[in-house]
């Protein structure tokens, strides 16, 4: 696979010549350790200058309205489809993930661009509100949505393209300019997309700054809204930094998603679906299934099916071969977390029925099914973000719900059952932001519903139809007379007990109940 030409000597903004001397980030393929590219780190001044440039470009972007922006977003969609191979190469080069996992990111990107481009006009349209009382019928009430000028998007390394797209596209569609700071582990793919934005000739309202935490912190110092995806510890720091500046923010953080398998479930579907939900993208997915609770009567049968399926999976360095299901972990540090969770579980009495150790060169860890685990173990209490499936036997659905809710996280969950009503009932009992019934991961492919975490899995929501765009806007309330006006309103100065008494009586008559509508008893 060819090296990505984000050449040494560029600064951290859109790959252009350096304004200030910068240190570089070396990007390596974790499957092989091969150096695949370098990017220079954007300094605080680079970030400030990039933001100033975005501020200059944003008013015209807002002014062309949703239909003008739709044209550019759909042109970018064309570009993504036409350059899918290059994008997939870039994704694979810095993550080592299977070709299909890279292609999923591109399919997701095409889908997101189409959805937000085509719906923005409807979602951002002015809304008239009905007055809450007949007294206010003399007013026309309107809510308008005006975008923040610059939205800052900070993303992690698990989906170098899709994680940015999930927020960059709705923010652009809303009329904001966007400053994206991708993970220092995977900075190359967002630069390819940014190049696409330039190549189609789109307005300069999308900039990418490369770097690690310091560059992210500089972004927070400059932008008007922060959309962050990443770990809980970093999310907490970002929340504090935003609070100090009164900058609004939304945090999409970690998870420890439970799956509940009830005795009436289709066990084949549950085993296939849970293996996919736990191991897709090597388990490096925020809504990855990280704990499985199985009702006792079907525990042995389910575990047998799950282990048999996991043993079939192919793991390796895929490049363009489309012939592996799992790749490596994205970083050596992530490999160490996964190894620690498995080692600690086994030392405390758990058993790996398949997998259980690192394998080969690079940062590969075998897909692993752990049994005899409990809630004292790190593999159950901490986010693993790797290819492990700890399985717990439970007496009944009440125990499954109790253990599922025994977590600091609350991102999403799945329930596997043959009974629709039971599935709906359990979905409502789980303390999480999303539940898939008889499926895994699929909520992430539905931007018409909200994606957000409960508990320490985050604050604020991504998507949710119109809310996915309106969150990047400041709502403004406008009142206007709907009838010809008098020189003075009744309440205006000078105060008059009789005029106020009339108003007071009218307000009470319309909102109080019983005899009190006419005064005190």
Tell me the catalytic residues: 252
β-bridge mates for residue 307, sequence order: none
Please choose, out of 10-18, 213-221, 371-379, 494-502, the segment that lies near ligand NAD by the rule CB under 6 A: 213-221
Per CB under 6 A, 121 contacts ligand NAD: no
Angle, vertex CA 163, rays to CA 69 and CA 453, nearest 5: 110
Query: Helix, strand, or coil here: 394?
Result: strand
Per CB under 6 A, 459 contacts ligand NAD: no
Q: What residues from 284 to 343 belong to the interface with ligand NAD (CB under 6 A)?
A: 286
Smaller CB distance to ligand NAD: residue 75 or 97?
97
The number of C-alpha atoms within 13 Å of 394 and in the hemisphere containing its C-beta is 23
Label residue 6 exposed, middle or buried (CB < 10 Å: 0-12, 13-18, 19+): buried
Query: Helix, strand, or coil here: 223?
Result: coil
- Position among 224, 252, 290, 318 found at the interface with ligand NAD (CB under 6 A): 252
Angle between helices 65-82 and 188-199 (to 10 degrees): 120
- Position among 255, 283, 387, 410 found at the interface with ligand NAD (CB under 6 A): 255
Smaller CB distance to ligand NAD: residue 228 or 416?
228
* Distance of closest approach, residue 10 Cβ to ligand NAD, in angstroms: 18
Please choose, out of 131-139, 170-178, 214-222, 294-302, the segment that lies near ligand NAD by the rule CB under 6 A: 214-222
Please choose, out of 31-39, 155-163, 196-204, 421-429, the segment that lies near ligand NAD by the rule CB under 6 A: 155-163
DSSP string computed for 362-376: TT-B--EEEES--TT
Please choose, out of 127-135, 216-224, 319-327, 353-361, the segment that lies near ligand NAD by the rule CB under 6 A: 216-224
Q: What residues from 348 to 387 belong to the interface with ligand NAD (CB under 6 A)?
A: 383, 385
Q: Where are the beta strands (DSSP E) in 396-447?
A: 409-410, 412-416, 434-437
Per CB under 6 A, 169 contacts ligand NAD: no
Question: In angstroms, what CA-CA distances link 123 with 127, 353, 472?
Answer: 10, 50, 12
Smaller CB distance to ligand NAD: residue 192 or 270?
192
CA distance 29 to 48: 31
- Position among 34, 184, 344, 374 found at the interface with ligand NAD (CB under 6 A): 184
Per CB under 6 A, 43 contacts ligand NAD: no
Per CB under 6 A, 154 contacts ligand NAD: yes
Smaller CB distance to ligand NAD: residue 227 or 317?
227
CB under 8 Å, gap of 24 or more: what pairs does 377-382 form? Answer: 377/341, 377/344, 377/345, 377/348, 377/350, 378/340, 378/341, 378/344, 378/345, 379/341, 379/342, 379/344, 379/345, 379/350, 380/256, 380/291, 381/256, 381/407, 382/256, 382/341
Per CB under 6 A, 153 contacts ligand NAD: no
CA distance 439 to 416: 8
* Distance of closest approach, residue 453 Cβ to ligand NAD, in angstroms: 6
Per CB under 6 A, 157 contacts ligand NAD: yes
Smaller CB distance to ligand NAD: residue 93 or 158?
158
Using CA of residue 337, residue 343, residue 346, residue 348, what is the dihedral sign?
negative
Per CB under 6 A, 442 contacts ligand NAD: no
Identify the CA nearest to 151 among candidates 127, 121, 173.
Answer: 173
Per CB under 6 A, 213 contacts ligand NAD: yes
Per CB under 6 A, 183 contacts ligand NAD: yes
Q: Per-residue x/- marks for ligand NAD, 256-295, CB under 6 A?
A: ------------------------------x---------
Please work out the total of residues on this chain that contact ligand NAD, with binding judged by CB under 6 A: 30
Query: Helix, strand, or coil here: 77?
Result: helix
Angle between helices 162-174 and 188-199 (to 10 degrees): 40
Per CB under 6 A, 231 contacts ligand NAD: yes
Label residue 358 exposed, middle or buried (CB < 10 Å: 0-12, 13-18, 19+): middle
Q: Which residues bind ligand NAD (CB under 6 A)?
A: 154-158, 163, 181, 183-184, 212-213, 216-217, 220, 229-231, 234, 237-238, 252-255, 286, 383, 385, 411, 453, 458
């Amino acid at each position: 696979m060819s090296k990505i030409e984000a050449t040494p000597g560029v600064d951290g903004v859109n790959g252009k010549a350096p304004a200030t001397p910068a240190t570089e980030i070396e990007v390596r393929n974790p499957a092989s350790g091969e150096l695949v590219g370098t990017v220079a780190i954007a300094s605080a001044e680079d970030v400030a200058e990039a933001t100033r440039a975005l501020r200059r470009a944003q008013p015209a972007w807002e002014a062309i309205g949703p239909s003008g922006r739709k044209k550019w977003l759909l042109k970018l969609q064309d570009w993504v489809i036409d350059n899918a191979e290059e994008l997939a190469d870039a994704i694979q080069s810095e993550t080592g993930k299977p070709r299909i996992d890279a292609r999923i990111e591109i399919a997701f990107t095409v889908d997101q661009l189409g959805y937000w481009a085509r719906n923005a006009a409807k979602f951002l349209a002015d809304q008239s509100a009905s007055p809450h009382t007949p007294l206010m019928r003399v007013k026309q009430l309107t809510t308008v949505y005006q975008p923040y000028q610059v939205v800052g998007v900070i993303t992690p390394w698990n989906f170098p393209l899709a994680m940015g797209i999930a927020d960059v596209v709705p923010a652009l569609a809303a009329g904001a300019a966007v400053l994206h700071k991708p993970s220092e582990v995977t900075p190359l793919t967002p630069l390819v997309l940014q190049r696409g934005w330039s190549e189609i000739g789109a307005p300069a309202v999308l900039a990418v700054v490369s770097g690690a935490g310091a560059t992210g912190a500089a972004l927070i110092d400059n932008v008007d809204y922060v959309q962050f995806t990443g770990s809980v510890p970093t999310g907490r720091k970002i929340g504090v930094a935003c609070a100090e500046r009164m900058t609004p923010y939304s945090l999409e953080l970690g998870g420890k998603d439970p799956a509940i398998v009830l005795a009436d479930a289709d066990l084949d579907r549950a085993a296939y679906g849970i293996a996919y939900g736990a191991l897709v993208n090597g388990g490096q997915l925020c809504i990855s299934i990280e704990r499985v609770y199985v009702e006792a009567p079907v525990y042995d049968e389910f575990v047998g099916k799950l282990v048999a399926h996991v043993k079939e999976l192919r793991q390796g360095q895929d490049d363009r071969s489309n012939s592996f299901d799992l790749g490596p972990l994205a970083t050596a540090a992530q490999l160490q977390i996964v190894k620690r969770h498995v080692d600690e579980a086994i030392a405390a009495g758990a058993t790996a029925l398949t997998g259980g150790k690192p394998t080969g060169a690079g940062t590969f860890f075998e897909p692993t099914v752990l049994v005899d685990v409990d809630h004292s173990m790190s593999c159950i209490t901490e986010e693993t973000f790797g290819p492990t499936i700890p399985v717990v036997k439970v007496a009944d659905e009440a125990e499954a719900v109790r253990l599922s809710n025994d977590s600091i996280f609350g991102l999403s969950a799945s329930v596997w059952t043959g009974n629709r009503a039971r599935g709906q009932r359990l979905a409502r009992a789980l303390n999480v932001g999303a539940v898939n019934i008889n499926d895994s991961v699929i909520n992430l492919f539905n931007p018409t519903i909200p994606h957000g975490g409960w508990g320490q899995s985050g604050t604020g929501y991504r998507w949710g139809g119109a809310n996915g765009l309106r969150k990047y806007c400041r709502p403004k309330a406008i009142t206007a007379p709907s009838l010809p006006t008098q020189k003075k309103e009744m309440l205006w100065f000078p105060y008059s007990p009789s005029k106020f008494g009339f108003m007071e009586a009218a307000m009470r008559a319309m909102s109080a109940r019983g005899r009190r509508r006419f005064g005190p008893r």
